[in-house]
Amino acid sequence: MGLAFKIVTAFILLSFVSADFRLTISLTSLTVNGKLPNGDPCSPFVNLGVLCFPRPKICIEPLEYATDDMDQCVIGSYIDLGVGNNSNEITFNADAYYGGWYNPSTYNFFGDFTGFSVKMIIWNADGTNYQEIDRHQWNLTNSDSSPVTETGDQITSFKFEWSKQVITQPTAPPTIPTTTASGGITTAPPLLTDCKSITAASTQLIKIGGASVSVYCDGKGGTAIQRRIDATGAFDSMEISNYKAFIGDATKSYWLGLDNIHTFTTGSTAYTAVITTCCGTTPLVENYETFTVGDATSNYLLTVTPASNTYQLVKTGINTAKTDNGSPFSTYNNWNLNGVDVGICASAKGAGGWWFGSCENNLNGHYYTVGVDANTCAFDAASHFGDNGTGISYPVGISFQKTQIALYQKTTFRNIDINAAAQDFCG
């Protein structure tokens, strides 16, 4: 049986029954030797104490489907683990996010489980000067014990734990019933208020307040309030009145509108927010345990609770002592941030509206089709502060080609869904 046929078959079956095995992987630590493959240190300033800035990405594959192609992750895609800050070692804590990886992460596999493959590619993320440190693949079988310690060429130690659980109960796909009115006439069900029950990626009409609004559902329970996948939509506007309303097309790129987002996030249902940015097919994910936007009288003040204090919305900027969290929504032409001169706010120039507290982020910025490095998403310096601004920055210096802010009901939020949704979005 061909590999492509088996993969397609596995995904079809996974849509209708629960997995036969559940694999849980908990990362412990990763250590590199401080050198590049050519033997040079990661930094020419190693004598001054500057070490590597390792940025690993990881791929988990069932052994049955695994290949030795390190540039391909046959099920899902590579997950970015974020950047280690001036250190040759990264220690992973439990119940924490590392880029798009929640530690521990769980994978559901259909069929006979014989083992799994772990692929890892590590870059030295020293500013925009990305250089590969190492790439390696480890194959584990049922006979391999846990915990595991592996090595590579520049990887001196990679430690993780794993376990598997047999799943036996089938899961029928959910159905949305219709209702029968008097006289036996079948009527459509009332509009949903979010995408919690939608199990296939699609656009849906939902009810927000008293309005019917078209949104994108990721098929994992998430409702997208912002989505950039192409250059469509009037995102270059610098008038806040435009951002109060819906921008774009839910089948392409869109912004739900500040008034809709306020109503959606301040109702009786609590939501967790997931911000996904894609560099190529590699996702970088941030999870905010709470995410609310105030009303017009507050200038749509943003309030979030991050799962990690390293996330962009809670970082202070280079030129400001503020964060996007706790800031009002602004555009360059309608500036609402007290104590900060719009002239020093790089991410606000040229296009888009955002909560410009740090002046580092703008996921509503101009969509550049040239001048962005395909591997690192670094923005060409010659175009960096052009007429259209810094691009879809998160932070300034990076311009992404795909971004999404999706909200999940907090009481039913499951981390494995988030990793899967991020992989599907960026793949």
pLDDT tens for 73-127 read 766 567 878 767 778 889 998 888 787 787 888 876 666 778 899 999 998 876 5
Note the pLDDT tens digit of each residue in 253-306. 999 999 999 999 999 999 999 999 998 888 889 989 999 999 999 999 999 999
Closest CA to 333 of 238, 243, 241, 242: 238
Is residue 421 scored above 90 in pLDDT? no
* Cβ-contact 348, 364 below 8 angstroms: no
Lowest mean pLDDT among 150-154, 174-178, 225-229, 244-248: 174-178
Closest CA to 416 of 24, 8, 7, 9: 24
380 pLDDT band, cuts 50/70/90, is low
SS3 421: helix
72 pLDDT band, cuts 50/70/90, is confident
Task: In whole angstroms, give the CA distance from residue 118 to residue 259.
Answer: 44
Note the pLDDT tens digit of each residue in 173-230. 444 444 444 444 444 567 899 999 888 889 999 999 988 999 999 988 899 999 999 9
Q: Which residue has the tokens 């109060």?
A: 244
Q: Which residue has the tokens 């004598």?
A: 47
Task: In whole angstroms, give the CA distance from residue 180 to residue 188.
Answer: 9
Q: What is the mean pLDDT of the chain?
A: 83
The reported pLDDT for the residue numbered 249 is 93
* Cβ-contact 413, 289 below 8 angstroms: no
Is residue 171 scored above 50 in pLDDT? no
Is residue 387 scored above 80 in pLDDT? no
Distances (CA, A) of 372 to 127, 341, 362, 368, 417: 15, 28, 16, 7, 30
| Encoded tokens for 284 | 């970088």
Is residue 366 scored above 80 in pLDDT? yes
Higher pLDDT, 217 or 411: 217
Is residue 45 scored above 50 in pLDDT? yes
Higher pLDDT, 371 or 118: 118
Q: What percent of the chain lies above the pLDDT cut of 90?
A: 42
341 pLDDT band, cuts 50/70/90, is very high
Mean pLDDT of 357-369: 93
* Cβ-contact 44, 26 below 8 angstroms: no
Closest CA to 97 of 281, 283, 229: 283
| Encoded tokens for 200 | 């296939």
Higher pLDDT, 119 or 164: 119
Is residue 374 scored above 60 in pLDDT? yes
Closest CA to 275 of 367, 404, 409, 363: 404
The reported pLDDT for the residue numbered 135 is 93
Note the pLDDT tens digit of each residue in 1-24. 333 333 333 332 333 333 457 788
The reported pLDDT for the residue numbered 207 is 94
Q: Which domains does the chain have, with CATH numbers?
A: 3-166 (2.60.40.3510), 191-426 (3.90.215.10)
Measured CA angle at 252 (ends 249, 254), to 5 deg: 50
Q: Is the pTM of this model over 0.85?
A: no
The reported pLDDT for the residue numbered 149 is 92
The reported pLDDT for the residue numbered 332 is 93
Q: What percent of the chain lies above the pLDDT cut of 70?
A: 84
